Structure formats: C-alpha cells, structure tokens
Chain A
Amino acid sequence: MSAHDNSHDLEVRDSNVVDRFEDPGHPDHQPRKGDTDPKANKKAERQVLFLFAVSVLGTIGFVVAYFALPPGDTAESMRTSNLALGGALAFALLGIGTGAIHWAKALMNDHEKSEERHLQRSDDETRAAAVEVLAEGTADSGISRRGALKGAVVSALALFPITIALPLIGNIGEDWNVGKLKHTIWKKGVRLSRDPNGRPIKASDVTIGSVFHVIPDNLEEHHETGDYMDQKAKAVVLLVRLDPRDLKADQSPAGETWSYDGIVAYSKICTHVGCPVALYEQQTHHLLCPCHQSTFDIADGARVVFGPAKRPLPQLPITVDDEGYLVAQSDFTQPVGPSFWERETK
C-alpha cells in the first residue's frame, strides 16, 4: 500500500502510545496435581494405559461383531449389525484419541514457550535481489525486444485449449436441441393411464373428489428408446374430478372444452422450479407443491394463489374416446415445468 496509509497507521498507534499500560509479562506456571504429587502422576499414567486398552478391546469387539453379527435379511438384524460394528469402532477410535490427549494434558511438560515472530515481508535487500534476478532472466529471454514472439506465444497458448473444449462442448449437451423442452409425448388420442401400473382410466371410474396420478399410455414405448425418464419427467399429469358446479374456470379457449364433465387434467410439474405438485386439498381444491409451497387453485384454471410460482400449471385438454376412456385432445399448448428464457418464443 502507499505511504499515505502508513501515516494513518502511525497516527492510530501514536495517540495511544504515550499513556498505556505495560504488558505484565507471562503469568506464572500453575503446577498440575501430577507435577507435585507422584501418586497423582502415576494415576494419570494408569488412566492413559486404560484408555489405550479400551481401544484395543474395541478393535477386538469389531472383529467379533463382523463375524458374529451379519446384517441378515431383516431390518432388525441390519440395525444390530450396524450398532455393534459402529459402537466397537467408536471405542477403538475414542480410546486412542482420549488416551493421547490425556497423556499430553496430564503427563507431558506443560510449560508454555514463546517464539519470536518476524514480519512476513522480505527485507529490502532480498527484494532488490529478487527484482535483480527477474530482470536478468527477462534480459536473457530477450522477450522485451522480441514483441512478435510475445504475441505468438500468447496466441498459441490462448488457442490450443479449443482442441479440448470444442469436442467437449459439442457433445456434452447431447444434441443441444432445447426445443424439446416445449413438447411432451401427449398427442391426440393418447389415453390417460394410471401411474405407475399403466392401466387406462375410464371417465366413469373417476368419482367426484378423487385424484389420479397419470402418465400417457404411450410412455411404455420409451423404455426401448432410452428416454423413458426424460419423457415421464415432462408428461406426468394430475387428474381431478370436481363437482361441475365448483369448476369456476379452466384454461380452455373460447369455443373449446378441455375438461370432461368436471374432470380436469393439469401438468404435475411445478411452474416454479419443477417439483411434482402432489398435495391436493379436496375442500379448497388447492394443489400444493411440497417443495416451495406454491399453491394452485384447480377449480380456477390452476391459478397461483400463493408462493413463488408465477404461472398456472398448464392444462392438458382431454375428452373421452368411443370406449369411454379418457384421452388427450392434443399435447399441452404451452411448455410444462419451470420457466426458461425462450419459453414463449415460437
């Protein structure tokens, strides 16, 4: 720092230096019991011995427990095995630890010693010598005279990491097609089926007030394509049947009906940061996200009534097919899940 700072530094010190107490120096050493009483000394030694012996017994106990108490098949035997092994290990370790510390505190020389400190900074001579050798090295390399070389070295060093970064970045995001975030595997005619057993749901099976966790009927096909989880993570839906009189509104645009006789289907993925929204309160028709408590009103187009989410859960347009099973009219008409920058772009 600058000399300017030093003046402040001195000022703070000087104003106090004149009228100050003197350091009284190290306090006298207080002898321990064992320092004056040989009996107490011997006792402490026996205690240390005992603690190390506890450790040895702990290790032996561990070996015994390892062979005598396998985890077995029941929760009970697993717990016993874990408790025995862990308890023995704790004794083995704590014996050594407490023994060593007790030894140091009770038996080793406890007279405090003092050591001088020195400034961290090197003295001026050393600094000058350091500058000198650097100057010599720089002169030897001739780097200051050969400007073109400097540029060449810097460019080469700056460019070569591309050889590692390019293939890495090229592949690490798979196909980098973020457009996939906007679509799910729901499409016209896909049946709504139960999660996780995949049985399709008949409209007549859905009684008023009941809740179904739903996956698309065509999800099963994605076991083969390797994107089962990716598709399920976007496509899960929560299905609720309300008394049609309670249903204030849903998200269907004018001229269309997205619900069926009080049955509404909404994306289960929270529009905040993507937790599955799964806690349904039948009385209030509120759907609560257990992660951050965003609350959606199912009777009112899944409007946000509380919490950190901004947007309603997207609605899946549904109807019934000829056999009375619930089917999707189309995919969701907007991306599901948490917001992202290009969410609304076409």
Chain B
Amino acid sequence: MTTTSTPTPTARAAAATADYLDQRTGIGVAVKTFARKIFPDHWSFLLGEIALYSFVTLLISGVFLTMFFVPSMAETTYHGPWASLNGVEMSQAFSSTLRLSFEVRGGLLMRQVHHWAALIFMASIVTHMMRVFFTGAFRKPRELNWVVGFTLMILGLLAGFSGYSLPDDVLSGNGLRITDGVVKAIPIIGSYMSYFIFGGEFPGNDLIPRLFTVHILLVPALILALIGLHLLFVVLHKHTQYPGSGRSDKNVVGFPLFPIYVAKAGGYFFVVFGVIALMAATMTINPVWNYGPYDPSPVSAGAQPDWYMLFLEGSLRLMPGQAEVMLGQYTLSLNVIIPAMIVPGVLFTLLAAYPFIEAFATGDNREHHVLDRPRNRPFRTAFGVSLLVAFFILVLAGSNDLIATHFHLSINDITWVFRFLLFLGPWAAFVITKRICLGLQRKDRELVLHGHETGRIVRFASGEYIEVHKPLDAHERWLRVQHDAVRPVEIEPAEDSRGVRRKGYRTDRLRQRISQVFYEDRVEPVTPSELEAAHHAHGGHDEIGSHDHGHEPAQVGGGQHLVEPDGETGPDARNH
C-alpha cells in the first residue's frame, strides 16, 4: 500500500489492526479476493441498489419509530397539541402516532422518511425486476436468484401492508376490514382464518400488536436474510453485463469494487437517503391526523391504498358481483376469490415461473452473462410488457373513482371499459411490442448492411443520383450482430429407426410447441457474408435473411443505398 519507506503513524496503526484481524480471522484471503472484484457499470444496475438503500433507510427510520410507537389497541383519550382531536377516544397506537408526529422533534420527519422509503422500496424492486426480466438476466445460472428476488418482492408487499395498518387510523382500518372480507371469502376455512388473524371477531384487540411483531421482526428478518442470499449470489455469479465490444460470457468488464464502487455505491446510499429526506421534508404523506382514529362506521370517499396495493383494489372493483354462487347451503364468493386471489395468483405465478418456462422453450443449457437487448427477444419483451399492461390497468381500475371525479365521467362506464381492457390491453400490448421489437431488429440489420445516412448525394456519370452511406465502425456493428437469434428447437422423431415409440417424445413435442410460440418470428443478425454481399449489391435489391413466419426471406429497405465509396466498392460494382 504505502510507497514511502517510512510509514506514517496512521499506516502503521492500520497495518497493526490488519495484522490483528488477519491472525484471528484470515481476512486477508477475503480482502485479496473481493477488494478489487470487477463490477460492470450501467445506470440500470442502480435500480437494485435503490431497493437496498431504501431498505437500509427503512431500518434506520423504523428503529427510531419503534422507540415512540405504542402497539396497543387499548382505548385512551387524546390530549395534545393537535387541537381538532383533543378529547377524542382512540387507541394507544393512534395517539402514540400523533405524539411521535407532533411532540417528538424530528418524529414527523422520520415517519415521513419511513413511509416514502417504503414506497420507493417497492417501486425500485419492481423496476429492478423489470430490468432483470427484459434483459434476460434471470437466465442460467441466475434462475434461483430470480426466485429469491421474487420472494423479496412478496415480502416487501407484506412489510408495506403490515406497516401501513399500524397507526390504526380510519383509512388503514378500512383496509384491514377489506382484508377481513377477502379472508372470509376463502372456502370452508375463511371464517376461521379471520378469527386466526384478528384473535376473534374483527377488529378485536389483538391485531395491532400482532401486526407489529410481523412488521418489525418477522418480515424484516426474512428480508434481511434473503437480501444477504441475493447479494451472495451476485458475488458468486459475478454481475451480468450489457453487450458490447470486448464483453463476452467468459469475462466481466468494469471497475474494481475498491475504490470505485466503494465511493460510487457508498455515495449512492447517501443520495437515495438524501432524496427520501427531501421528499419527507417537503411532501406530506399519510396525514393520519386528518383521517382520525379507526371507527367501523365512517369511511371517506376517494381513499386509495399505497400504490403497490392498488392493483388488488382495482381487481376487486372490476369483478361483477354475480359471480357469487351457492353450493347447497354454503356460500362461495367467487366475486371476491377471483379478483383477490386468482388474478394476483396468476400474475405472480407467471412472473415467478417465467425463467423456467423460457429455459424449457429454449432448450438452452448454457450460462449467460451478457444481457439481451430487449428487441432481440421479441416474445419475452412482448410478454413482459403485456404483464405490465395488465398490472397497470388494474392499478388504474383501483383509482376509477378518482378518474371519474377528475374527468367528470360515469364510474359505471369507466368500470366497464376497464373490464374489457383487462383482456384486450395485454393482448394488444403483446402484438404491438413484438412488432416493434422485430422492427427494431430490422432497423439494426439495415444499419449494419448499409450504414448511416450521411445526407451526401452523389451524381454518377450516367446521371443517376444516390445517397452515400457511412458504414458502421466495428464497435457499432458488433453491438448489432453479437447476439444469437434463438430458433425453435427441433426434436427427434416419435419413433426410432426400428419403429419403436420413443420415451419422452410427448415432453419434447410440448417443448417444440412452446418453442415455436417463443421463437417462430425472428430476425437473424447480419453475418459477414451478408455484409460482403451487400457491399457488392448496392441498390434496390437488398435481400436479407429475415425469418418471419417460417423461413421466407423478407424484403427490407429497398431504397437507393450506397456505402461510402472506397477502393473495392466503387459505383461500378452496383450492377454485379
């Protein structure tokens, strides 16, 4: 470390400490292995970091809040600086929330930091997941880490929901009542599940203390453990990288952990915390003192849950009530079970299982460390967008009352529109996204084959005008040709040469069908010989090997194109 011959006192102290630690822990090995570990750089890799840092912010502000919050439903009468609630009966949970907001200095700030951080935590998890999904970062060897991340998202929802309900205000109380209604709809054991959660009838006297334990112990402990596992996997696998010159599945290109990421990532924690602090300073969130303590009788119109719960709310709102049926003398509330359990169940299952479905369809057993450009995997990108559209429509449906009042529309009409959109939207999104992806790939081919337009018009002796195109440099080109266009798997015939039916044929057949859905429509990247051919075939006959629905080559381009004239590709070479 030190280059001077006489070490400074600081350096000597550091050396002594390091020696002490190493003799007892062998930490030298870890430092040697990890200190200069390489991580690739890209803005989208920050999304996961935001999730991590907002979680740290949640821990810091959360510990502060537990010092003042009283998780009890015992009744008390409020006396304090918030005049409009003076003398009102409320639970100790609510009155201690008022106390920590108004009487503890910095308490309100910490409460708002905590709530904003929770919203950002969920938002960054979702966007991080989108990044991982659309770039195919979940492929082998990272499938298990996708499942860990998925579980973290579910735990994040649970943490958010349990925390939101703690202040025991009217809004969160009604949220709990909705939960109670949903739980009661579960066939056979619903009423007992409700008793299980609430310690008897709703709302009972046990729920807040129970939620408190869930919120500050069980869920955060699980989240912490899984974050540890999540990051362990990242170190084990080394980070994925975007495609580019010099980057392959066999290397990782970037900057060393120490000092670059110690400074960048360490600094980024303070940026995330700082932005949350700024939000908490300037934007009021969840002003429970305006809502009042929980009372089973009142409810306010236009109430919205936190954003990550809106899709469930929307789902509940869209379902027509006729779905409730009687089985003999028993009631089966399909009008609740379908929107609150089956719809999210389907969305979440598709999300969690996607890496395994794609691996099955691809029949691919290699490790992947270079990310996909979303356009190069049209099915995956389109599928992801259609899931997002379904989610987004449910979120909007969860705000249908606000849409109605803001735009002066009939709430019944809006609900009907969303009912149809929930089915049509994802389908349309799928088709459109897939076309856009294929179009972008063709654009890539076009660029590689014909170069950039320069705006320079050249006139030949024959009188013909053409535009000169500037060929791509090797790095630009590599980005557009480095990927494999995955083709549908081909399987062995059902019967072997002796006419005996092969075992495992049915699985293979299923694999082939799914694979065709995934990869039938595709555009192959340009090959060197195609580029060579294009150089020799300037003009209107740019036949390229685009494979769309089977293997017909499609016509793309067709304008008058010419690559910047150089020795071998003179104007004369046009009509080969």
B297 touches A108 (CB 8 A): no
- A88-110: CB near B (< 8 Å → 1, else 0) gives 01111111111111011100111
In the complex, whether B520 has a CB less than 8 A from a CB of chain A is: no
B187 touches A341 (CB 8 A): yes
Q: Could you tell me which residues of chain A, from 71 to 118, have a CB within 8 Å of some CB in chain B? A: 71-73, 78, 81-83, 85-87, 89-101, 103-105, 108-110, 112-117
Task: Tell me, rounded to whole Å, the shortest Cβ–Cβ distance linking A27 to chain B.
Answer: 5
In the complex, whether A243 has a CB less than 8 A from a CB of chain B is: no
Task: Tell me, rounded to whole Å, the shortest Cβ–Cβ distance linking B29 to chain A.
Answer: 17
Residue in A closest to B317 when the chains form the complex, CB atoms:
A292
For A15, what are the chain B residues with a Cβ–Cβ distance below 8 Å? 487
For A196, what are the chain B residues with a Cβ–Cβ distance below 8 Å? 295, 297
For B363, what are the chain A residues with a Cβ–Cβ distance below 8 Å? 5, 8-9, 12
A344 touches B274 (CB 8 A): no
In the complex, whether A24 has a CB less than 8 A from a CB of chain B is: yes
Task: Tell me, rounded to whole Å, the shortest Cβ–Cβ distance linking B410 to chain A.
Answer: 10
Q: Which of B248, B281, B320, B365 is A83 in contact with, Cβ under 8 Å?
A: B281
Task: Tell me, rounded to whole Å, the shortest Cβ–Cβ distance linking B308 to chain A.
Answer: 18
Task: Tell me, rounded to whole Å, the shortest Cβ–Cβ distance linking A314 to chain B.
Answer: 14
Q: Could you tell me which residues of chain B, from 233 to 279, have a CB within 8 Å of some CB in chain A? A: 236-238, 244-246, 248-256, 259-260, 263-264, 266-275, 277-278
Binding stretch for chain B, among A145-153, A176-184, A202-210, A247-255: A176-184
A117 touches B251 (CB 8 A): yes
Residue in A closest to B73 when the chains form the complex, CB atoms:
A229
Binding stretch for chain B, among A159-167, A304-312, A322-330: A304-312
A24 touches B203 (CB 8 A): no
In the complex, whether A244 has a CB less than 8 A from a CB of chain B is: no
- B304-321: CB near A (< 8 Å → 1, else 0) gives 000000000100111111
Residue in B closest to A24 when the chains form the complex, CB atoms:
B474
Q: With A23-B248, A71-B102, A230-B200 in contact, is A339–B324 under 8 Å at CB?
A: yes
A120 touches B267 (CB 8 A): no
Complex Cα spacing A101 to B269, Å: 10
Which of A180, A229, A294, A306 has its CB near the most chain B CB atoms (within 10 A)? A229
In the complex, whether B54 has a CB less than 8 A from a CB of chain A is: no
B475 touches A24 (CB 8 A): yes
Task: Tell me, rounded to whole Å, the shortest Cβ–Cβ distance linking B228 to chain A.
Answer: 19
A232 touches B335 (CB 8 A): no
A100 touches B266 (CB 8 A): yes
Task: Tell me, rounded to whole Å, the shortest Cβ–Cβ distance linking A228 to chain B.
Answer: 8
Task: Tell me, rounded to whole Å, the shortest Cβ–Cβ distance linking B404 to chain A.
Answer: 9
For A236, what are the chain B residues with a Cβ–Cβ distance below 8 Å? 296-297
Q: Which of A105, A181, A272, A307 is B264 in contact with, Cβ under 8 Å?
A: A105
Q: With A82-B281, A174-B200, A275-B174 in contact, is A340–B316 under 8 Å at CB?
A: no
Complex Cα spacing A36 to B75, Å: 70
Q: Which interface class (under 10, 10 to 19, 20 to 34, 35 or more) fits A?
A: 35 or more
B202 touches A233 (CB 8 A): yes
In the complex, whether B420 has a CB less than 8 A from a CB of chain A is: no
Binding stretch for chain A, among B189-197, B434-442, B449-457, B552-560: B189-197
In the complex, whether A213 has a CB less than 8 A from a CB of chain B is: yes
In the complex, whether B333 has a CB less than 8 A from a CB of chain A is: yes
Q: With A276-B299, A338-B333 in contact, is A117–B238 under 8 Å at CB?
A: yes
Q: With A23-B482, A113-B256, A343-B331 in contact, is A86–B367 under 8 Å at CB?
A: no
Complex Cα spacing A195 to B295, Å: 11
Q: With A8-B364, A274-B181, A309-B321 in contact, is A94–B478 under 8 Å at CB?
A: no
Binding stretch for chain A, among B1-9, B106-114, B344-352: B106-114
Task: Tell me, rounded to whole Å, the shortest Cβ–Cβ distance linking B14 to chain A.
Answer: 20
Residue in A closest to B107 when the chains form the complex, CB atoms:
A71
For A142, what are the chain B residues with a Cβ–Cβ distance below 8 Å? none
In the complex, whether B303 has a CB less than 8 A from a CB of chain A is: yes
B255 touches A23 (CB 8 A): no
B178 touches A291 (CB 8 A): yes
Which of A13, A227, A290 has its CB near the most chain B CB atoms (within 10 A)? A290
Complex Cα spacing A234 to B203, Å: 10
Residue in B closest to A71 when the chains form the complex, CB atoms:
B102
For B281, what are the chain A residues with a Cβ–Cβ distance below 8 Å? 82-83, 85-87, 89-90
Q: Which of A114, A195, A343 is B38 in contact with, Cβ under 8 Å?
A: A114
Sample of 16 A–B contacts (CB below 8 Å): A24-B478, A82-B112, A83-B282, A89-B274, A93-B274, A97-B273, A114-B38, A174-B200, A176-B195, A273-B180, A279-B301, A307-B317, A308-B321, A339-B331, A344-B329, A345-B329
- Which 9 A-B pairs have CB atoms at the shortest separation, nearest pair first? A86-B281, A273-B181, A100-B267, A97-B270, A174-B200, A93-B274, A26-B246, A97-B271, A94-B274
User: A20-B481, A308-B318 known; 10 other A-B pairs, CB under 8 Å?
Assistant: A25-B245, A82-B281, A89-B109, A119-B367, A174-B200, A229-B73, A230-B204, A273-B336, A275-B178, A290-B301
Residues of A within 8 A of B (CB): 1, 4-6, 8-9, 11-13, 15-16, 19-21, 23-27, 66, 70-73, 78, 81-83, 85-87, 89-101, 103-105, 108-110, 112-117, 119-120, 169, 172-176, 178, 180-181, 195-196, 213, 215, 223, 226-227, 229-230, 232-234, 236, 268-270, 272-276, 278-279, 290-294, 304, 306-311, 337-345
